Chain A
Amino acid sequence: MSFLPAIPEVLRQFFKRPATNLFPAKYLPSSVTKYLKSVQEGNAAINPPVETPPNFRGKILYDRDTCIGCKLCIRVCPANAIEFLPDTKKVRIFVTQCIFCSQCNDACPVDALHMSDEFLLADEDRYSENMIVE
């Protein structure tokens, strides 16, 4: 089959394991919310996603106590996702605005900002508790 090289290739592949990572489940559950609930209750297990490497840039972590309120992170944030709170001289970060460049982490003089490896951040509400870091 030199003129159709894909045919031997697919026949070989037929007997190999598929490459798909079965995250979060093999097939779409009939109800996603019910499935997630049963996972929370421990009745079902989620197939884990592909592992994130070290230095992955996920949801931002903010160390409020270390922060000195220098506003440098606000100056370097490309997405204007960081808001300064003048009363407390601390910042508030809107995760829905964040573009995960982690430039604020690099800029922070006191190392108060870090990136976690959390990336499953879908939410129905832009301003829910999970979507605002302060």
Chain B
Amino acid sequence: MVMILGVDPVLVLGGTVAVALFGMLAGLVFMGIERKFAARMQARIGPPIRQPFRDVAKLLSKDSIVPENAIPCLFNMAPVLALASSIVILLYIPLGGFLPVLAGYGDLILVMYLLTVPALALVAGGFASGSPYATVGSQREMVTMMSYELPLAIAVIAIAWRLAAAGIADPFSLATIAGTASGITIWSVVGPLGIIGCVLLLIVLTWVTPAELSRVPCDTPEAETELCGGLLVEYSGRNLALFYLAQGVKTVAMAALAVALFLPWNISWFVALSPNAALAADFAFFLLKILAVIFFSVSVIRVGMARFRITHVVSIYWGYLGGLGLLGLVFMVLDAYIGGGGVL
């Protein structure tokens, strides 16, 4: 077997292609199902689940128009960057029973950085569009990004810190957090106080997801009725299709991150199965968990409230959610030192 820099190129390449395909397919399917959920909650029928596939197919068949005022290279590069970086995130997140393709080459901190890249690509594309709507949208996207980073970081770090406090090696590795190999998760480590902390952090992450994905109430950068689509207003054809795919992949990545952090259980931990059956069962269960996360943190939130103003986004994410996250962190700390949560 040929190894380059300690990596098996066939495995990594094959894995990357597989994850990319999975990410795009699952992204579109989940977006279709999500639209069905939202429609159902609004007493509508909604489009068929295959609708996102049709949308992408139609967009791909259309011309991509570059506006006169745009900076063409940046304008055309942004969608590719957004899609590519969204797929890269997936490479670091465990998918059901499968370890991350690039396990051991990056950890949670890297994932947090990577999560900002698709958003930055959107911002670059928006500024490069040369339209006032897109410019305002880009400014708002940047502000939104800065707002949700704090609660997201708190949630992620609190979990990893608690695992470290429990004496678990390599606590920032997502494979460790998800307990893919060991079966040890955050829930089996913490005591009662820590469970309160975990629930608070779960709430924080649930609310960060719509901001990360620019959905109502945090869709201020796109805000159809205000900015006619904001960042994406000048995009069309293939470029828009790429952004659309990136949005789908990002949805899966965010949900998979939430699953890895807070809902890491696998079926094979509880039921004895043959290795292949276990992989399949775990993967199916993983998809179900993703669906559940999407239902609560995307669908319910987006149909249940009005869009925030950009100033609200800042005050709510820095103030309320940041505070809630810190409270969760305090509970985790208390749990580790006083509550007598099990140190394994």
Contacts and interface: CB of A to CB of B under 8 A. Distances in A.
Contact of A13 (B40, B47, B48, B305): B40
Interface residues of A, number: 14
A22 B305 CA distance: 27
A91 B44 CA distance: 45
B300 A18 contact: no
Contacts of A7: 300, 304-305
Say which size band chain B's interface belongs to: 10 to 19
B42 interface: yes
Nearest to A8: B304
Contacts of B42: 10, 13
Contacts of A18: 39-40, 43-45
B13 interface: no
Interface in B291-318: 300, 303-305
Contacts of A19: 43-44
A14 B44 CA distance: 10
A120 interface: no
Contact of B47 (A14, A16, A27): A27
Interface string B82-93: 000000000000
Given A6-B304, A6-B305, A11 B48 contact: no
A10 B48 CA distance: 20
A6 B41 CA distance: 10
Contacts of B303: 6, 10
Nearest to B295: A14
A86 to B, nearest CB: 53
Interface of B: 37, 39-45, 47-48, 300, 303-305
25 contacts: A4-B305, A6-B304, A7-B300, A7-B305, A10-B41, A10-B42, A10-B300, A10-B303, A10-B304, A11-B41, A11-B300, A13-B41, A13-B43, A14-B37, A14-B40, A14-B41, A16-B43, A18-B39, A18-B43, A18-B44, A18-B45, A20-B44, A20-B45, A22-B45, A27-B48
The 4 closest A-B pairs by CB, nearest first: A10-B41, A7-B304, A19-B43, A20-B45
